[in-house]
Structure 1
Amino acid sequence: MSKHESSMPSPAGTVRPGAGPDGAAGTTGPGATAPAPRRTVAAWSLWDLGSNAFNTVILSFVFSVYVTGTVAADAENGQQVYSNAQTVAGVLVALLAPLMGAWADRVRNRRLLLTVSTLAVVATMAAMWFVRPENSYLLVGVALIALASVVAEIAGVFYNGMLLQISTPRTVGRISGTAWALGYVGGVLALVIALFGFILNGGLLGIPTEDAQNARAVALLCAAWFLVFSVPVMIWGPREAPDVTVVHQPFRPLLAYRDILARVVRMWRTERHMLHFLVSSAIYRDGLGAVFAFAGVIAAASYGMDTVDVAIFGIAANVVAALGTWVLGKVDDRVGPRPIIVGSLGSMIVFGLVIVAFDATIVFWVFGMGIASLVGAVQSASRTLLTRMVPADEANETFGLYATAGRAVSFISPALIAIFTAVAGARMGMLGIVLTLALGLLAFWPLRVPGATSPAPR
């Protein structure tokens, strides 16, 4: 039983008479010594490879641009409607992620929940095919992208929770880093296929451009890509042993929110290191997200790169990010996640300051690649650190709070970028990213978690 469980009421929807000594019968995780079968680990990792087609192609580079620039009669209005929809999506994620995580901890069937949520994302992407290049379809287009964003985030909560089941203290960094690296690889491959097979110069696959069929077909490509690479985890993903000590009751969302709030209060009282990590990581993760979200904008506005140049830069950055994440994931198991997070953030801050100090395209390329090589490593190490800290029977709820914390501070880097851009020009917008990373590093620096940040015993 975890140190707080004996004095707190059971979560909404369950009664735990006589729970086992770990509070979650049959649960494995980083405390386990037996590794999961390689097939299970591979199946879990491939999901990351498939899911990034949505993030890279739909959300960042291709379909969102099609909706705001072609479907919308006016690009400015399209961007405004799209931004509003994404804002609503962010609010929904913040509200639903911990609730869905809490539900998953009660249901104890992450694989089923991940399967259902993944299929929902696939179906939503496939439906984007029907978004024709007419302004009357603008709301449909942005609504489908927003819906897919929400469901994909919730699926990520279930997915991250599985890391406890398939890793040991000696393998959690490598497994997390490899999967995150595969995500970058999947994003690059899907983007290359979309650009050269469907979009540029009419596309090598010869899909008709009439009625924007080639752009709409990109959504079908991403749906098929995600489905193919998620099937393995649906079949061979880790199972959770049913907890026979739990007497299920109807799941009541309002009571669940009450228990989630009680969990946050409990963190403040007895697990302050957990709350500290959720807040500090949310700050620097906002900066990490801004690196890829604004790199293309800064490249185009400050260094005169055209669409093809930006696409090449984006592909190169993703390849470098995959390599860096894979290598440092292995280092994570040797030195622990804290040195990875601190060292990488410090290096990214220095690289960003160099870019600001020297107005040269080659400097932007070289040190931009340096920053890209560390983004995924920090995100993966953050996931492994939380995995080492979280109680096994509260993993999904905690990863839900992790997502909510990130959404709660997602305004920091865009606001700072806007301020520096307005005051000193587009290139100085980089200072907004640097400052966000620095604030996150300063917030994270005092955190000490005995037994969670050190490497596994050898």
Structure 2
Amino acid sequence: MTKKPSKGNGLFAWAMYDWANSAYFVMIQTFVFAAYFAQSIAENETTGTALWGNMIGLAGFVIAISAPFLGSVADEGGRRKPWIAFFTAMCVFGCGMLWFTEPSADFVWFALIMAFIATLGAELSFIFYNAMLPDLTTSLTIGKWSGWGWAMGYAGGLACLIVGYFGFVENGANWFGLDDNPEALQNVRITFLFTGIWYAVFSLPMFFKTPDVPSKNKKITQAISDGMVQLKNGITLLKGEPNIWKFLLARIFYNDGLATIFAMGGVYAAGTFGFDTGQIFMFGIALNITAGLGAFGFAWLDDKSGSKKTIVGALIGLIVPVTAVLFVESETWFWIWGLLLGIFVGPVQASSRTFMGRLAPQDKRNQMYGLFALSGKLTTFAGPIMVGWITFLMGNQRWGMSAILLLLIVGLLLMFGVDEIKGTSEEKVPLSLS
């Protein structure tokens, strides 16, 4: 029997979780806390870059080995929301604890541990969040909603950056009675606690309004046992699905490049171009505007022209400004090329999620999204670690960041070997059946 896709508030509330979750990525992983750690907690920016890259790399490794297993267990258990709630709480806790990371080398390990916990929570929640989309929409509009979800994420990140900067960094002492001693940096640290609160509050619409699939009423031990079997079967299934594994192989590389941009972008801006906290906030705000516009605009192209063409075009659009950013000396040109880069970030991510939804067998979608998450995390520990160690050994961040360019180019070349899905834009049936 064909299942009627959910409309209205269910889909909008689903997209609101992207709005909530993106606060972590812009405030903690990419811009504010990453730069704060390298500039104010670590012994120096070179050491901070290496430590931050290693932490993100370790988190990526843990996510890589756990994501397929968790996806398989969720397939057997049914519901996704309990998993999302657990990992959301994990990220909220980690973000909140970063308030206590004072600008001192004494807090290096505490900062890295809390950021590690927050990273795991934010990333693992997305396995189950992504797997909800095909049950909520049809193949005719999945590209649009996936793109709009990413656009909502960038809008949420933008809003969080604006409130964080003008509400706390600029006016925290006057409005909230924070210590205005510049050495304490309470006006910066409070934004980490604010990020956790933001994530918690704006994730609520998804929990209350978006329908979940029914529970299969399995005991957790049985779900784990069956999930292990399904994981093994899923890997075996890939042998008969060359288009899926080719796509996942390509994504291993280009998503690693994207993840490294997110993990090291703020550190690069601070270390190479000398951005202070205010400049990093402003750059983050501007970048989220261009990224949101790109995700929103390319969403229509995904449904009209296909996911593969959208991914390939966006990767080409990324490679050019990434190359430029590695060579420019002027802060003005860094702004120009950096903002251009943002336009193509969202389409790569959104269309990859759409492509997986179109490729995956309907009864194994959580499982396939677990493998999708694996492809996105299998080598993400390598990119930041490469950047960190090359920067450390060469004493130059530009050399380290050049690893991103190589990863994007390899991913692009591999995508040419993936076949576009035929006929998906004409099909109007739901992507999930009951």
TM-score with structure 2 setting the length:
0.85
- Secondary structure of 1:205's counterpart equals helix
1:260 paired to 2:220: no
Change in 2 beyond 3 A, CA 1:160/1:203: farther
Aligned to 2:21: 51
Aligned to 2:432: none
What CA distance in whole angstroms lies between the structure 2 residues aligned with 1:38 and 1:134? 48
Identity rate of aligned residues, in percent?
A: 29
What CA distance in whole angstroms lies between the structure 2 residues aligned with 1:143 and 1:310? 23
1:119-134, aligned counterparts within 5 Å?
119-132=89-102
Change in 2 beyond 3 A, CA 1:81/1:178: same
Aligned to 2:210: 237
What CA distance in whole angstroms lies between the structure 1 residues aligned with 2:321 and 2:40? 36
1:40 paired to 2:13: no
- Paired residues of 1:207 and 1:213 also in contact (CA < 8 A): no
Which of residues 315, 323, 328 in structure 2 aligns to 1:345? 315
Shift of 1:437: 1.2
Shift of 1:419: 5.6
1:114 paired to 2:84: yes
What CA distance in whole angstroms lies between the structure 1 residues aligned with 2:42 and 2:336? 36
CA deviation vs aligned residue, 1:195-217 (integer Å, no higher than 9, x gap): 23222475553432266544443
- Paired residues of 2:310 and 2:348 also in contact (CA < 8 A): yes
Change in 2 beyond 3 A, CA 1:423/1:236: same
1:176 paired to 2:146: yes
CA deviation vs aligned residue, 1:299-356 (integer Å, no higher than 9, x gap): 4555565554343223211110000101111221111111111111123223444556
CA deviation vs aligned residue, 1:380-415 (integer Å, no higher than 9, x gap): 000000011112332222222222222222255443
Q: Cα RMSD (Å) of the superposition?
A: 3.3
Shift of 1:107: 1.1
- Paired residues of 1:417 and 1:429 also in contact (CA < 8 A): yes
Which has the bigger relative contact order, CA under 8 A and spacing at least 6? 2
Which of residues 164, 178, 191 in structure 2 aligns to 1:208? 178
1:59-458, aligned counterparts within 5 Å?
59-67=29-37, 69-70=39-40, 82-132=52-102, 137-200=107-170, 205-209=175-179, 213-242=186-215, 250-251=221-222, 253=224, 256-257=227-228, 259-268=230-239, 270-300=240-270, 305-353=275-323, 360-410=330-380, 413-414=383-384, 415=386, 427=398, 431-451=402-422, 454-457=424-427
Change in 2 beyond 3 A, CA 1:421/1:167: farther
- Secondary structure of 1:48's counterpart equals helix
Shift of 1:65: 4.3
What CA distance in whole angstroms lies between the structure 2 residues aligned with 1:217 and 1:90? 26
- Secondary structure of 1:90's counterpart equals helix
What CA distance in whole angstroms lies between the structure 1 residues aligned with 2:220 and 2:360? 25
Structure 2: gaps of 5 or more residues: 429-434
What CA distance in whole angstroms lies between the structure 2 residues aligned with 1:301 and 1:217? 23
What CA distance in whole angstroms lies between the structure 1 residues aligned with 2:230 and 2:43? 46
Aligned length: 424
What CA distance in whole angstroms lies between the structure 1 residues aligned with 2:120 and 2:311? 27
- Paired residues of 2:89 and 2:121 also in contact (CA < 8 A): no
- Paired residues of 1:337 and 1:381 also in contact (CA < 8 A): yes
- Paired residues of 2:32 and 2:266 also in contact (CA < 8 A): no
Change in 2 beyond 3 A, CA 1:138/1:290: closer
Greater alpha carbon shift after TM alignment, 344-353 vs 390-399? 344-353
What CA distance in whole angstroms lies between the structure 2 residues aligned with 1:429 and 1:133? 25
Greater alpha carbon shift after TM alignment, 365-374 vs 42-51? 365-374
- Secondary structure of 1:169's counterpart equals coil
Shift of 1:237: 1.5
What CA distance in whole angstroms lies between the structure 2 residues aligned with 1:431 and 1:143? 27
What CA distance in whole angstroms lies between the structure 2 residues aligned with 1:192 and 1:413? 29
Shift of 1:94: 1.5
- Which residue identity is paired with 1:222? T
Greater alpha carbon shift after TM alignment, 178-187 vs 355-364? 355-364
Change in 2 beyond 3 A, CA 1:293/1:247: closer
Greater alpha carbon shift after TM alignment, 426-435 vs 406-415? 426-435
CA deviation vs aligned residue, 1:9-53 (integer Å, no higher than 9, x gap): xxxxxxxxxxxxxxxx98x5xxxxx44221001110111101111
- Paired residues of 2:67 and 2:373 also in contact (CA < 8 A): yes
Change in 2 beyond 3 A, CA 1:423/1:77: closer
Shift of 1:417: 9.0
- Which residue identity is paired with 1:448? D
What CA distance in whole angstroms lies between the structure 1 residues aligned with 2:152 and 2:77? 29
- Paired residues of 2:101 and 2:111 also in contact (CA < 8 A): yes
Structure 1: gaps of 5 or more residues: 1-24, 29-33
Change in 2 beyond 3 A, CA 1:77/1:300: closer
What CA distance in whole angstroms lies between the structure 2 residues aligned with 1:343 and 1:55? 24
What CA distance in whole angstroms lies between the structure 2 residues aligned with 1:387 and 1:131? 40
What CA distance in whole angstroms lies between the structure 2 residues aligned with 1:361 and 1:133? 26
Change in 2 beyond 3 A, CA 1:372/1:212: closer
- Which residue identity is paired with 1:446? G
Greater alpha carbon shift after TM alignment, 77-86 vs 360-369? 77-86
- Paired residues of 2:23 and 2:160 also in contact (CA < 8 A): yes
- Which residue identity is paired with 1:372? G
What CA distance in whole angstroms lies between the structure 2 residues aligned with 1:45 and 1:212? 33
Shift of 1:120: 3.1
Aligned to 1:7: none
- Secondary structure of 1:456's counterpart equals coil
Shift of 1:420: 9.5
- Which residue identity is paired with 1:439? V
- Paired residues of 2:73 and 2:228 also in contact (CA < 8 A): no
- Paired residues of 2:54 and 2:388 also in contact (CA < 8 A): no
Shift of 1:373: 0.1
Shift of 1:185: 1.4
